[in-house]
Every structure is written in structure tokens, then in C-alpha cells.
Amino acid sequence: MKNNQSKDPLHGITLQKIVEQLVGFYGFDTLAEIIPVKCFATNPSVKSSLTFLRKTDWARKKVEELYIQSLPKF
């Protein structure tokens, strides 16, 4: 029987989990340097970041790309 697991590294991972892991690894200061968005630089929190990223496709795509690039480091 074939294993039908997705090859997508984001499959089954919530945006919240992605943000929490990136913040845990890089911190908000470094995230704001890598992805210059206000939600990482000014009064950062996971909640405010999620609100922004859910409304802003280009920023979410950058966060997801950073997560995929960082996977071997986690």
C-alpha cells in the first residue's frame, strides 16, 4: 500500500505554529530585520502578527518561505 503523505512541508502546520517557532528561533527583532513588517517591529506579539499575516498574503508568503528555509534548524 502506498503512503499518501503530502510532500508540502507546510501541510498540517498552522500559521500560529509557524510564527511561534520562528519567534522562538529568531526573536521578533531578527524577524523584523528579515521580514520588515510593522507587526514584528512595533509592539510585537504572536496575536498581532497572526492578525496581520492572515490579511496580508505577500507577508504570509514570506513568513512561510522563511519557515521552510529554517526547517533544518528547528
pTM: 0.87
Torsions phi, psi of 9, nearest 5? -65, -15
Nearest CA among 21, 17, 16, 10 for reference residue 48? 16
pLDDT of 52 reads 97
| Cβ atoms of residues 25 and 74 within 8 Å | yes
Domains of the chain: 15-73 (1.10.720.30)
> Mind listing the pLDDT tens digit for each residue in 1-47?
455 667 888 999 999 999 999 999 999 999 999 999 999 999 999 99
Does the pLDDT at position 72 exceed 60?
A: yes
Q: What is the mean pLDDT of residues 44-69?
A: 97
Q: Which three three-digit cell numbers place residue 36?
A: 520588515
